Structure 1
Amino acid sequence: MWDGVYDVIVVGAGHAGCEAALAAARMGCKTALFVINSDRIAEMSCNPSIGGVAKGTVVREIDALGGEMAKNIDATGIQFRILNKKKGPAVRAPRAQADKYAYRERMKRVIEETDNLDVVQQIVDDIIVEDGKVKGVVTHLGAKYGAKAVVVTAGTFLRGKIIIGFEEFEGGRMWEPAANKLSSFYERHGFRVARLKTGTPVRIDGRTIDFSKMERQDGDEPPPFFSYWTEPKEIEQIPCWLTYTTPETHRIIRENLHRSPMYGECKLITGVGVRYCPSIEDKIVKFPDKERHHVFVEPEGRNTVEFYPNGTSTSLPYDVQEQIIHSIPGLENAKIIKPAYGIEYDFVDPTHLYPTLETKLIRGLFNAGQINGTTGYEEAAGQGIVAGINAALYAMGKDERFVLGRDEAYIGVMIDDLVNRGVREPYRLFTSRAEYRLLLRYDNADYRLAKYGYKFGLLTREQYERVKRKYETVKVFIEKLKEIKIKPSESPVEIKETKSAYELLKRPEVKLEDILKVVPVKVSVDDEKLLREILEEVEIEVKYEGYIKRQLEEVRRFRKLENVKIPKDFDYDVVPISIEEKQKLKEMKPLTLGQAARLEGIRPASIPILSIYIEKWKRGEFREKT
């Protein structure tokens, strides 16, 4: 019956699909990665960069779990920076400009060289389900492949439609076919399917750009790499450039809004777009008083002349695109290589998912990435590694589930938001979404998550031991700072009496490097990179000790609800709460009392009542009566 049999099948090879397939295969599952075009694995369809505020922390979290994204960008990046360096550690984040062609080539090579992992270039048209469980997939060639678990990471390909002005054609991205049949599978099985919209700017020939009219932006030295396992090295960093739109740009857009597929009479675009990364025409309409908007001109690689004018995404007609580009300083004579376009696609309501990213309607079926209504490579990859781990656990017949809490990772915040609240627009991560963001810093992702990467076999013992050694050294270092006394004559700042180095470091104006110049602290660490990480961690832990303790106390209260598991067979009808609340709980199927408390429509006063009845149910009181 089967043309191939696997433990796990992953549908789609974008950033979510790559992490899901690698995680499942590295955990020992026989895995297949189905792709439409195997030469476009890990394609950067839009912005050629990785990281940013909150997003950069997600990449670090993926790395701490044993994923590939951080190592891939470190090996292929052309510029590295830390954003918000002058602000607090909760909002600092790494960002890298990518060589998009080298990025996808390296990821493809990693996938091809991974044991237990096959690449299959076929379009998945249907998923086989028996008795409410996944059994396999059917491709456009009629081939059938069996699987215990299936992870769908379809990106923008589900009924994808590309739009330029009033011209439209099918496509998952430019020059690639859409996956038009898989949406029907979800609709047949009772999933809510809706439309979202995104887009991308033109690509321009760098030889026709006048960089003298732009502001140069260089990377940091030494380059701040993403992965905890990347060794320090020198690289030639390539600058990015900053310019701005002009009143002429805004005039051109306003005078051509009638030709926009979003604002014109013939509205071809009906899906909801990305609020925090809007098209240029959206910016002009929604912010009419703003005199100019940023345009970041970014190289797409070391061996290409293509540049990406970040901030000029549009679906206006091609002739208008040319006028817009030529109205921007430095781009007056720029030649367009590739046109900008908008794209509409289907997504599946993520409230159909458990926090494991397994669907509630079909056992063994997992969704990850843009199919869940998110936007961004990092958000997709974060979901991908969680789905891949859980699909592997399911395929191996283990009862264990991998769920990250809101207090453990930005990935946990994102998934919790998706499965409990759903999306009305493409979801993007921000630091403001995390209640415990001072605990979820980019520097300590290894402390938070390496234990899981090691547990699931995605990190080696040597890697995990390095993490343990790092944080044991941090503790010892802090204790030494408490013991060291600094006299007023030795202090880097004015003090009236002798104080400990620990007390001095708490001052905002005092840096750890200032103290170490006065009283060097000996640490038995030969690894220079590890030593830098330790020093960074020590400074943050000391300076923000009070805030960190406060957030840890909040987490302890939060965990009380999270630790109350709701039995799978729990009958909400026995609980004296409103009918509407019962309906919501039955539909959403929360795993814990904490998750139930975060559902829209559940009153705070109902949570203590629900807690009492869960405990009664666990004691068997209601079942004995029935």
Structure 2
Amino acid sequence: MPNVEETYDIVVVGAGHAGCEAALACARLGLETIMFTVSVDSIALMPCNPNIGGSSKGHLVRELDALGGEMGKNIDKTFIQSKMLNQSKGPAVHSLRAQADKQEYTRQMRCTLENTDHLTIRQAEVTEIMAEHGQIKGVKTFSGAVYHAKAVILATGTYLKARCIYGDVSMYTGPNGLQAANYLTESLVKNGIEMYRFKTGTPARVDRRSIDFSKMEEQFGDERVVPFSFSTDPESVQKDQVSCWLTYTNEETHQIIRANLDRSPLFSGAIEGTGPRYCPSIEDKVVKFPDKNRHQVFVEPEGLYTNEMYLGGMSSSLPEDVQYAMYRTVPGLENVKIVRNAYAIEYDCINSRQLKPTLEFKAIQGLFSGGQFNGSSGYEEAAVQGFMAGVNASMKVLGREPYVLDRSQAYIGVLIDDLVTKENHEPYRMMTSRAEYRLLLRQDNADLRLREIGHEIGLVSDEDYERVLQKQRDIEAETERLEKTTVGASPKVQEFLERHGSTLLKTGATMAELVRRPELDYFSLAEIDKTRPQLPADTAEQVNINMKYEGYLKRQQQQVTQFKKLENKKLDIDFDYSTVKSLRREAVQKLNLYKPSSIGQASRISGVSPADISVLLVHLEQMRHGQRGQEI
């Protein structure tokens, strides 16, 4: 009996957060796209924490939205609590975080996908990639069906040879007991792709009815909700929110964990994979921070129509009996009933240095990848990679130039650059500290930074683009007005200044000068500003931030200018660095391994020193003047 053979422009393997964004980007650009999943019911599944955003991750979601992605819109439809984190700190680290109704999040994303033109969803396991002479040709499924394609995007998440483990129990399944993908790894290795084995984990889900909330601290959402998507009407997200709860482990909890470490597969050697340093299990926390007598436990609802609660901060792979014992030492959880055990999951992923900054494999033309398959962690990190892989796969098929965001443009640029230029021996997590230009890359200005690029790609509508252009014009006009508007030392003004602990005026001052005073801001000055126009809240926020941080922003912009000079000095990715005299041996090895596309990228490779970069710059200059015959 002959096998099925079909042809598409693009194949997407996986329907998690990376696969969804990749498939939507390709289909919305008019390319015939097919997305494979081991289970249609697992589309946009949230197998771990029930939230989107958080510190630095909120930046990624808003950048994704500004470019034309879907995650921000979807969480705006399905959140049950929303909070802007770090509001006591500066605007660079403000991050939006929303609790999701997990089932509704999946339903809404599936609805969007199923109603997108040019997109086909197929439940089948992809077991083989087909490539000839370094060029992707398509994929083959477990049944033997062949799907020819001009580009393939791998977004397999944590499903490749997945194994879920707690104590002595080991199950060869994907997250939440779903089917693992056990065959694709072999095909990838045969095609010369280097694989890693990584591990992540998740805490128990427990029955809400068995929790004593009176012993916990109630956590409320923001009074005024800020939407994730720049396209969402802010009024549409002002709704009743559910509470989350905070409690803590204690010394009794820690004693139980320490007494059973020999039964933890993390410490017994039963788990081979490397775990995420910045999202450790409770066993890791107790061992690595012995001086801490308690750790936070966030008790979060999984949705509006379920009694399952998520115990954030207590990820574990300890045996079932130990899980019951340790959870029941936590205030409020003394009589807790477990619905789903905590477990660790290990899975196959790639060494991401094999990728170009476009997320295309260096060795196989037309093969792209995104998400946890690239060695990262988190829904948000996955989504932005899937989106960029989808955009660049589409650009390749359409014969257009690829899009690469650099470190000065977006957190997305930082994330992808870190993945392709640095040694990543553990799941990569985005953090604000990784972004050198974080004062410029705030979550509040993602639309001003990236809407134009999204419009140019073809994923942001004319209407949304015009909206951000108007916002820019309003910011500039209001900034100019503040610089020119003066106030005198009238009794009303002096009384206002005295009330706010600000120095009284001896002569007149511009409104801009007053905004820049530490104890005042654009919003408080509305009381004495008679000619102020009515501006949308997000526009007013930009005016305030730009004025108050003007000096810092200018300084960081100067740093970006220097950074761009190195990024614009391009390198040939096929160049042999052993031909450059005076380069240290380690630098030659690392440069030949990573094949950087620019001097800037070369400078961020571990093992390449500033002295090596100086040698490369001299060599480039010599090439420019024709002193050597070989181009670098």
- How would you bin the TM-score normalised by the shorter chain? over 0.9
Given that 2:164 and 2:344 are in contact with CA atoms closer than 8 Å, whether structure 1 keeps it comes out as yes
| AA aligned opposite 1:85 | Q
Greater CA deviation, 490-499 or 160-169? 490-499
Is the partner of 1:444 in helix, strand or coil? helix
* 1:502 to 2:508 alignment: no
Counterpart-to-counterpart distance in 2, 1:268 and 1:174? 20
Counterpart-to-counterpart distance in 2, 1:433 and 1:519? 40
Greater CA deviation, 167-176 or 144-153? 167-176
Given that 1:570 and 1:614 are in contact with CA atoms closer than 8 Å, whether structure 2 keeps it comes out as no
Counterpart-to-counterpart distance in 2, 1:54 and 1:108? 26
Greater CA deviation, 64-73 or 506-515? 506-515
Q: How does 1:100-119 map to 2 (within 5 A)?
A: 100-119=102-121
Quote the offset at 1:42 in angstroms: 0.5
Q: How does 1:105-504 map to 2 (within 5 A)?
A: 105-231=107-233, 232-233=235-236, 234-264=238-268, 267-398=269-400, 400-488=401-489, 489=491, 490-491=493-494, 492-493=496-497, 494-497=503-506, 498-504=508-514
Counterpart-to-counterpart distance in 1, 2:524 and 2:177? 56
Quote the offset at 1:456 in angstroms: 1.0
Quote the offset at 1:191 in angstroms: 2.3
Q: How does 1:18-37 map to 2 (within 5 A)?
A: 18-37=20-39
Counterpart-to-counterpart distance in 2, 1:314 and 1:210? 22
Quote the offset at 1:308 in angstroms: 0.4
Counterpart-to-counterpart distance in 2, 1:136 and 1:495? 72
Counterpart-to-counterpart distance in 2, 1:519 and 1:369? 49
Could you list the per-position Cα deviations for residues 408-451 of structure 1 after superposition, in whole angstroms to 9, with x for gaps in the alignment? 01110011111000311111111110110000100000111111
What's the counterpart of residue 609 of structure 1? Answer: 615
Given that 2:129 and 2:188 are in contact with CA atoms closer than 8 Å, whether structure 1 keeps it comes out as no
Given that 2:526 and 2:532 are in contact with CA atoms closer than 8 Å, whether structure 1 keeps it comes out as no
Given that 2:128 and 2:187 are in contact with CA atoms closer than 8 Å, whether structure 1 keeps it comes out as yes
Quote the offset at 1:582 in angstroms: 2.9
Given that 1:46 and 1:200 are in contact with CA atoms closer than 8 Å, whether structure 2 keeps it comes out as yes
Counterpart-to-counterpart distance in 2, 1:47 and 1:466? 34
Given that 1:149 and 1:391 are in contact with CA atoms closer than 8 Å, whether structure 2 keeps it comes out as yes
Quote the offset at 1:524 in angstroms: 6.6
What's the counterpart of residue 528 of structure 1? Answer: none
Is the partner of 1:75 in helix, strand or coil? helix
* 1:549 to 2:554 alignment: yes
Counterpart-to-counterpart distance in 2, 1:574 and 1:38? 52
| AA aligned opposite 2:592 | K
Quote the offset at 1:620 in angstroms: 6.5
Counterpart-to-counterpart distance in 2, 1:504 and 1:547? 17
Given that 2:423 and 2:606 are in contact with CA atoms closer than 8 Å, whether structure 1 keeps it comes out as no
Quote the offset at 1:516 in angstroms: 1.1
Counterpart-to-counterpart distance in 2, 1:350 and 1:520? 56
What's the counterpart of residue 63 of structure 2? Answer: 61
Greater CA deviation, 171-180 or 124-133? 171-180
Could you list the per-position Cα deviations for residues 321-360 of structure 1 after superposition, in whole angstroms to 9, with x for gaps in the alignment? 1112211111111211111111111111000111111111
| AA aligned opposite 1:611 | L
What's the counterpart of residue 541 of structure 2? Answer: 536
Given that 1:82 and 1:92 are in contact with CA atoms closer than 8 Å, whether structure 2 keeps it comes out as yes
Could you list the per-position Cα deviations for residues 55-89 of structure 1 after superposition, in whole angstroms to 9, with x for gaps in the alignment? 00100000000000000000000001100111101
Distance 1:255 1:384, change over 3 A: same
Could you list the per-position Cα deviations for residues 153-175 of structure 1 after superposition, in whole angstroms to 9, with x for gaps in the alignment? 11111111110101112112132
Given that 1:216 and 1:242 are in contact with CA atoms closer than 8 Å, whether structure 2 keeps it comes out as yes
Quote the offset at 1:10 in angstroms: 0.8
Could you list the per-position Cα deviations for residues 365-403 of structure 1 after superposition, in whole angstroms to 9, with x for gaps in the alignment? 1111111111110111111111110010111223x1110
Counterpart-to-counterpart distance in 2, 1:579 and 1:309? 49
Counterpart-to-counterpart distance in 2, 1:621 and 1:13? 52
Percent sequence identity over aligned pairs: 50
1:74 to 64, 73, 76: 76
Distance 1:146 1:620, change over 3 A: farther
Given that 2:37 and 2:123 are in contact with CA atoms closer than 8 Å, whether structure 1 keeps it comes out as yes
Could you list the per-position Cα deviations for residues 264-300 of structure 1 after superposition, in whole angstroms to 9, with x for gaps in the alignment? 3xx2112111111111111111112211110000000
* 1:516 to 2:518 alignment: no
| AA aligned opposite 1:89 | P
| AA aligned opposite 2:566 | L
Given that 2:375 and 2:426 are in contact with CA atoms closer than 8 Å, whether structure 1 keeps it comes out as yes
Quote the offset at 1:520 in angstroms: 3.8
Counterpart-to-counterpart distance in 1, 2:98 and 2:574? 47
Given that 1:2 and 1:146 are in contact with CA atoms closer than 8 Å, whether structure 2 keeps it comes out as no
Given that 2:574 and 2:595 are in contact with CA atoms closer than 8 Å, whether structure 1 keeps it comes out as no
Could you list the per-position Cα deviations for residues 524-554 of structure 1 after superposition, in whole angstroms to 9, with x for gaps in the alignment? 75xxxxx101110011000100000000000
2:101 to 67, 74, 99: 99
Normalising to structure 1: TM-score of the pair? 0.96
Counterpart-to-counterpart distance in 2, 1:542 and 1:54? 23
In structure 1, runs of 5+ residues without a counterpart are: 526-530
What's the counterpart of residue 558 of structure 1? Answer: 563
Is the partner of 2:8 in helix, strand or coil? strand
Distance 1:355 1:624, change over 3 A: closer
Aligned length: 617
Could you list the per-position Cα deviations for residues 206-239 of structure 1 after superposition, in whole angstroms to 9, with x for gaps in the alignment? 1121111110111012212111111122312001
Quote the offset at 1:27 in angstroms: 1.2
Counterpart-to-counterpart distance in 2, 1:333 and 1:141? 48
Given that 2:158 and 2:175 are in contact with CA atoms closer than 8 Å, whether structure 1 keeps it comes out as yes
Is the partner of 2:197 in helix, strand or coil? strand
Quote the offset at 1:472 in angstroms: 1.5
Normalising to structure 2: TM-score of the pair? 0.95
Given that 2:4 and 2:144 are in contact with CA atoms closer than 8 Å, whether structure 1 keeps it comes out as no
Counterpart-to-counterpart distance in 2, 1:22 and 1:612? 45
2:593 to 583, 587, 611: 587
What's the counterpart of residue 500 of structure 2? Answer: none
